[in-house]
Amino acid sequence: MPLVATGSIVGPAARGRHGVGAFNVIQLEHAEAIVAGAERAGAPVILQISENAVRYHGALAPIGQAALAVARAADVPVAVHLDHVTSADLVGEGVRLGFTSVMFDASTLDYEANVRATAEVVSRCHAEGVWVEAELGEVGGKDGVHAAGARTDPAEAAAFVASTGVDALAVAVGSSHAMLTRDAVLDLDLIAALDRAVPVPLVLHGSSGVADENLAAAVAHGMTKVNIATHLNKAFTAAVRSCLDARRDLVDTRHYLGAGRDAVATEVTRLLTLLRAA
């Protein structure tokens, strides 16, 4: 199955009222694990590379090209998404490399500045056939602070979509980035109100802090794209730690990184099954 457009995954999911898993890639093992998990689930999936991951690698091309190669070799539909990008130059690089979508994040700007910056990115990306996600009502936690009190106003969200032409909207409904516990309280009534008001698919960021039953409830109330990163990193790290604790003489990285990769694949299969059934 070749690399596919992000909209070809998210659009049908939104119409069918089920969720799509979008999982962050930091190392090659993440991309391999996510696709393996999706193949076991028989489900489409989105590989995401964040601006923070680009900064970690020092450039987008090495990890981006690796993720694109894994996607092209998959047996299920896979899209590759550039996530939480604040730099228009980085957006342009992602488009040139072949990313199928970008999430342009101008949420720290005031509303009018966010609209102007986002509309410009949308215009350039749509000219290249690239799908664009944006954020309104800053989701907490990107700076390591769990500030889950932000909420997106439905009327403002509808106006933002109309003014920018975005293809999907990340909204603040009670989740927070980088949570290590799964006890975030989502505002399900707000999700339903946003779903009624906004004509494009809704995106839940900070989903690692949301318990299974609440993820399912969020999808049932109108959420479509569900972003998960920290939860999978916890699974990866736990497996690596267990492997190294069991074999103190182990030096071959393939053994312990392979354990982490296997753990992530198993969890991706479980999460995709949960989201599709929601």
Encoded tokens for 13: 């999911």
User: Can you tell me the distance from the alpha carbon of 232 to that of 34, in angstroms, rounded to the nearest whole number?
Assistant: 10
Q: What angle, 0 to 180 degrees and rounded to 10, lies between the N-to-C axes of helices 61-72 and 28-41? A: 20
Cβ count within 10 A of residue 72: 14
Encoded tokens for 132: 């664009």
User: Can you tell me the distance from the alpha carbon of 202 to that of 194, in angstroms, rounded to the nearest whole number?
Assistant: 8
User: Can you tell me the distance from the alpha carbon of 273 to that of 267, in angstroms, rounded to the nearest whole number?
Assistant: 10
Of the listed 83, 153, 167, 187, which one is catalytic?
Answer: 83
Among 75, 73, 66, CA closest to 41:
75
User: For this structure, is 83 an active site residue?
Assistant: yes
* 127 Cβ contact list (under 8 Å, min separation 6): none
Q: Per DSSP, what are the bridge partners of residue 225?
A: 20, 203
Helical (H) or strand (E) element with 16: helix 6-16
3-state secondary structure of 102: strand
* 99 Cβ contact list (under 8 Å, min separation 6): 64, 68, 80, 81, 82, 130
- CA 115 to chain CA mean position, Å: 21
Encoded tokens for 208: 């690692």
Which residues are tagged catalytic?
A: 83
